[in-house]
Structure 1
Amino acid sequence: MAESAVRSGMTVAERIKELHEKKKALQEMGGAKRVEKQHAAGKLTARERVNKLVDEGSFQEQFGFAKHRCTFFGMEGKDLPADGVVTGCGTIDGRLVHLASQDFTVAGGAAGEVQCDKIVEMMKASLKTGSPFVFVNDSGGARIQEGIDSLAGYGRIFYHNVLLSGVVPQISMICGPCAGGAAYSPALTDFIIQTKKAQMFITGPSVIKQVTGEDVTAEQLGGPEAQMAYSGVVHFVAEDDEHAMAICQDLISYLPSNNVEDAPEHDHPDEFELDLSLNDIIPDNPKQGYDMFEVIKRIVDGGKYLEVQSTFAQNIIIAFGRINGRTVGIIANQPMVKAGCLDIDASDKSSRFIRFCNAFNIPLVTLVDVPGFMPGVEQEYGGIIRHGAKMLFVYSAATVPKVSVILRKAYGGAYLAMSGKDLGTDRCAAWPTAEIAVMGAEGAAGVVFRREIEAADDPKAKRAELIETYRETFSTPYVAGGRRMVDEVIEPAATRRYLAMALDSLVTKRELRPEKKHGLIPL
């Protein structure tokens, strides 16, 4: 009552001064000492991250004065500025985004009911405005003092992650700890950027030690190396917070704001001269590898692309690039790793990327040099059949423009899984070096001509002769061209021009599909 009486006697100027003081306190969040500790750990604060991410002066904060209502375990009357998360909207290169940035200087960034509701409000705003949602994670996890209210808050976040999925791009940044249930929200988003200072895992090292007896550090368990190279959970690894913000900015530049828009077009070179260096990419020895990145550099505008999951399943490459100023999603076998074979991880990695591109109107460019699916007991027991089937499913289901180029090997089911013509691919070109067959000539000759080889006076010479016969009969692009499995055989040097013209002709593509709720992707 006394405080109310004092406030009723305040002048307008005093009230404005009070506002400025409260806003200043919000800017300081956890206080100077905790900010200093955050900096000493090599991390930025929540507000510093926001300021690095969005255009200068564009951020408009929302719910800065939100307060928790917990009264248990010493929380009554405890002030947690902005309830430990900065929320609002801003622009990146002039394009609207909504975001939430957890602040570790406030109660370790722990998420309670109100913090979760603030995050959900930003997600709802993203849906309402058709703008990307960015969530910067730096939290010790659920606010234990709030019990099931905190748990329910996480549930609302997960629910809205699913509502946003396929409607607006969702990007998570892991800039500190992200443990337990908190890790599931990033996993439900489209892309995860993790800094080298951060860890994410469901169960921490101490619990693992207690339950299984395994000794593991937090870095070994949930560091970026573990979550990129081994688990494939993370899509980009950043050196630090500033690098993470730069990756996010670059990523958003390739993406549309929502599923009913196209990605922004960029200036591009008008010239499409022959790049004769591509004619020398494929080695004469069919068993020799080459670097597919050298091909990608020569077909995208300015040689610039953004690779996704660079150290996971490196036998396949997924990346965003631009051709003729328009964003494309690139899927390419990497002959330098496992000869470019498709395995379980490569199938999962590429399938999810294809699914994302289709949801957000991004045309698909597939570069094919695949000898087959990876053989072996481990792969079969791991479910290579159902994992490989994902690629057949997502390419068949994709309605965006699909253009493929067969550079060298395209064998068996893997040929089809790499956007084979009969999966609805709109344009399929082949280099003169392309070999399209059920299997490689060496393997096929041993099956088809087994008796002739066994009966020959010189089986080795006969085998070599029949291998060449099979290759000339089936393993050339002209046989596939005769069956209309290939639209055109092109000089490698003309690949960029071919892709640009094909994609231009497909801008107005429309594709009718049967009405249904959704298909059932193999899991």
Structure 2
Amino acid sequence: MQRLLTRQAPRWVGRGLSTVSLRSPVTGTIVKLPSPGDYLKAGEEAAIMESMKMEIAVEAPLTGVVLASPRHAAGDVVEEGEVLFKIREEAEPEVPIADHASLCSTPSSPSSPSSPSTASSALRSDLSALHARLDLLQDSARPKAVERRRSRGQLTARESIARLCDPGTFSEYGGLAIAAQRRTRKVEDLVQTTQADGVVTGVGKIEGSTAVIVAVDATVMAGTQGFFHHSKIDRAVEVATKQNLPVVVLPEGGGGRPNDSDMEGLMAAGLHLNTWTAYSRLAGIVPRVAVVSGYCFAGSAAIAGTSDVVIATSKASIGMGGPAMIEGGGLGVVTPDEVGPAHELYAAGAVDLVVDDDEAAMEAAKRYLSYFLRPHTGEREGGNDQELLRDVIPENRKRAYDVRELIDVLFDRESVMELRRPFGGAVTTSLARLNGRAVGVIANDPKRNGGAVDADAAEKSAKFMRLCDAFGLPLITLVDTPGFMVGPAAEKTALMRKASRLFLAGASLTVPIVSVITRKAVGLGAMAMCGGSTKVPVECLAWPSAEIGAMGTEGAVTLGFKKELAEAEEKGGKEGRQTLFDKLCTVAHKRSAATNAASLLEVDDVIDPKDTRKRLVLCLEGVPISDGGGKGGLDSW
């Protein structure tokens, strides 16, 4: 408590103007009272009371002289409202300026709060201690660990957050946590070496939108997951759930930490932890993206795997078990780089996007989230020269083409973000913008299997459909497929079940789907690409190059006219068979022509390719823009 300031009034002060009783504001004990004859200025601390272990300062109500106290002294207990002492109002003493200053001033000292230089430079002891503790959280407190990380070309967790979030918007949660090892280590040591228990969590803005961030700090205990580490992630997920916020996770490290001694007797193995379940419950409710750099094993890998999308750097390795677990299981000795290299997981579909380095990964994460957090940019233009679409499809109906060129022309410039490119390559899945509006795009790639939908392509497409549906992004499908992949080898990939997922996903769509048949639309595969049939889309369009049939033309002729072709071969040899085959194919081609399908109402319209973008924009104009919030239900993940 600040020292009570009193001064003796000059004996020659004039007579008072009035007398005021100073009463106790509480029931409590008198700690300090002024002495009779002390001179007080209005607003000056005149007495101190203690009540319920709290000290209450009592200020002088006016400038004057303290009169004799009636009966109280320090240590007495008084009731609220009881008179402590009286003050007689006195005018300011008329003394020379120098003498007046000596009467009314107190000596300045380095600790005096009235000193301007002290007020601006010195901190209270509690604030000073807090800042010292917070300084330990910064990368500068771990120079050797940070240098090792930089030597591998990686950003630290805090550097990644700084690149991910808008400047000055990140608020950290649980930064003062330390490892649960107080039983075996000194707290001072834990404060110095287990900062934030190896994970940075909090809330920040990403391009103006609030998001929850969970970044494992591999410079602290190798990013292993301890008790408070898990508690912090659980809290972050809770905040995301309560406020419906997207989540960006930067999982890394070698999994669980076995030496949190404080939990001995309270936890056997941690199998009751709810971290993964709570995070998984956010599927389809808020966008969740995992960005992986370095080694990410066990529990951290499971966090990545339960995210909507996984972005990895080219040097990342991800696995459900790290080298120690592999060796412990008697499966050999491997290096971390051998466990789950990013490029292998990309090909297998476990990773959605691989980028060069951490900086590119942060940019990719921001770009991915932008489709959901800013579903419309407000722009109404941005397309390329649509005349180019007239020449995308070769006149030779058997010649493959680059469907990505078609996509780049059709949608807004530089707006296309393709996911899981090498996996299920017969189909491309991309986020894009159409006149500023975020959409999902699924397209057959005739350069892979002729565009035939195999098991991987079906699984990839179904997952993407559910992602777009969960967050309100309309779907646009560009159809050019001879159907589902067939043959004994294809069936060994569980094609029957995986192909059926496309129909299940299409049947549950709540967002509009618009289909454009660019060339081949054959059988069940084409129906699945349209969401289940050509009547599922709100508009099913076809280009003049489209061929629509239950089977491929050649296959249909071979199967349907087997007897006739055999007779033709008996009469005219192979030449006779070929002549009849060509004639029948010509008739079949006319039957499968887009204009014929449109005349029979199997498609809604046949359009000039250059009008495709305009028709898509018009079709989606009446569809409400999603607010970025999902509705849940990504049950196929």
Same fold (TM over 0.5): yes
1:191 partnered with 2:309: yes
Q: Name 2:352's counterpart in structure 1.
A: 235
- CA–CA distance in 1 between the matches of 2:635 and 2:439? 26
Q: Is the 8 A contact 1:29 1:105 kept in 2?
A: no
Q: Name 1:201's counterpart in structure 2.
A: 319
Mean Cα displacement is larger for which, 26-35 or 131-140? 26-35
Which of 609, 614, 618 is matched with 1:492 structurally? 609
Pair 1:270–1:138, CA change in 2 (3 A): closer
- CA–CA distance in 2 between the matches of 1:29 and 1:109? 17
- CA–CA distance in 2 between the matches of 1:183 and 1:451? 58
Report the secondary structure of 1:26's partner residue: coil
1:444 partnered with 2:556: yes
Q: Name 2:393's counterpart in structure 1.
A: 282
Give CA-to-partner distance per residue, 1:244-269, whole Å, 9 cap, x none.
1010111111113xxxxxx4311434
1:353-392 matches, cutoff 5 A = 353-392=464-503
1:206 positional shift: 6.5
Instruction: Provide structure 1 residue ranges, at least 5 long, that are not aligned to the other structure.
Output: 1-9, 257-262, 510-516
- CA–CA distance in 1 between the matches of 2:216 and 2:477? 38
1:320 partnered with 2:438: no
Q: Name 2:151's counterpart in structure 1.
A: 40
1:231-310 matches, cutoff 5 A = 231-256=348-373, 263-270=374-381, 275-310=386-421
- CA–CA distance in 2 between the matches of 1:150 and 1:50? 34
- CA–CA distance in 2 between the matches of 1:219 and 1:459? 59
RMSD: 2.6
Q: Name 2:44's counterpart in structure 1.
A: none
Q: Name 1:330's counterpart in structure 2.
A: 441
Q: Name 1:125's counterpart in structure 2.
A: 239
Report the secondary structure of 2:598's partner residue: helix
Q: Is the 8 A contact 2:311 2:355 kept in 1?
A: yes
- CA–CA distance in 2 between the matches of 1:519 and 1:103? 30
- CA–CA distance in 2 between the matches of 1:303 and 1:25? 42
- CA–CA distance in 1 between the matches of 2:317 and 2:502? 30
Q: Is the 8 A contact 1:104 1:138 kept in 2?
A: yes
Q: Name 2:544's counterpart in structure 1.
A: 432
Q: Is the 8 A contact 1:26 1:81 kept in 2?
A: yes
- CA–CA distance in 1 between the matches of 2:514 and 2:460? 19
Give CA-to-partner distance per residue, 1:105-159, whole Å, 9 cap, x none.
1100111111111111111111222211111112121112138959638842211
- Percent of residue pairs identical: 33
Q: Name 2:81's counterpart in structure 1.
A: none
Pair 1:272–1:178, CA change in 2 (3 A): closer
Q: Which residue identity does 1:447 align to in structure 2?
A: L
Q: Is the 8 A contact 1:421 1:486 kept in 2?
A: no
Which of 18, 22, 27 is matched with 2:129 structurally? 18
- CA–CA distance in 2 between the matches of 1:462 and 1:215? 65
List structure 1 runs of 4+ shifted beyond 4 angstroms.
71-77, 147-151, 205-217, 271-274, 517-521
Pair 1:276–1:445, CA change in 2 (3 A): same
Q: Name 1:6's counterpart in structure 2.
A: none
Report the secondary structure of 1:252's partner residue: helix
Q: Is the 8 A contact 1:220 1:226 kept in 2?
A: no
Report the secondary structure of 1:152's partner residue: coil
Report the secondary structure of 1:172's partner residue: strand
1:377 positional shift: 1.8
Which of 90, 95, 117 is matched with 2:204 structurally? 90
* Count, aligned residues: 498
Q: Name 2:598's counterpart in structure 1.
A: 481
- CA–CA distance in 2 between the matches of 1:16 and 1:383? 63
Q: Name 1:180's counterpart in structure 2.
A: 298
1:455 partnered with 2:567: yes
Q: Name 1:339's counterpart in structure 2.
A: 450
1:197 positional shift: 2.5
Q: Name 1:468's counterpart in structure 2.
A: 586
Q: Which residue identity does 2:444 align to in structure 1?
A: N
Q: Name 2:79's counterpart in structure 1.
A: none
- CA–CA distance in 2 between the matches of 1:519 and 1:122? 21
Q: Is the 8 A contact 2:384 2:412 kept in 1?
A: no
Pair 1:183–1:274, CA change in 2 (3 A): closer
Mean Cα displacement is larger for which, 319-328 or 19-28? 19-28
Give CA-to-partner distance per residue, 1:172-231, whole Å, 9 cap, x none.
1111211123311111110111112221112345665776867865434311111111x2
1:58 partnered with 2:169: yes
Q: Which residue identity does 1:26 align to in structure 2?
A: L
Pair 1:296–1:271, CA change in 2 (3 A): closer
Q: Is the 8 A contact 1:29 1:81 kept in 2?
A: no
- CA–CA distance in 2 between the matches of 1:45 and 1:405? 45
Report the secondary structure of 2:310's partner residue: strand
Which of 344, 348, 353 is matched with 1:226 structurally? 344
Give CA-to-partner distance per residue, 1:311-330, whole Å, 9 cap, x none.
22222100011112110000
Report the secondary structure of 1:78's partner residue: helix
Report the secondary structure of 2:154's partner residue: coil
Pair 1:202–1:442, CA change in 2 (3 A): same
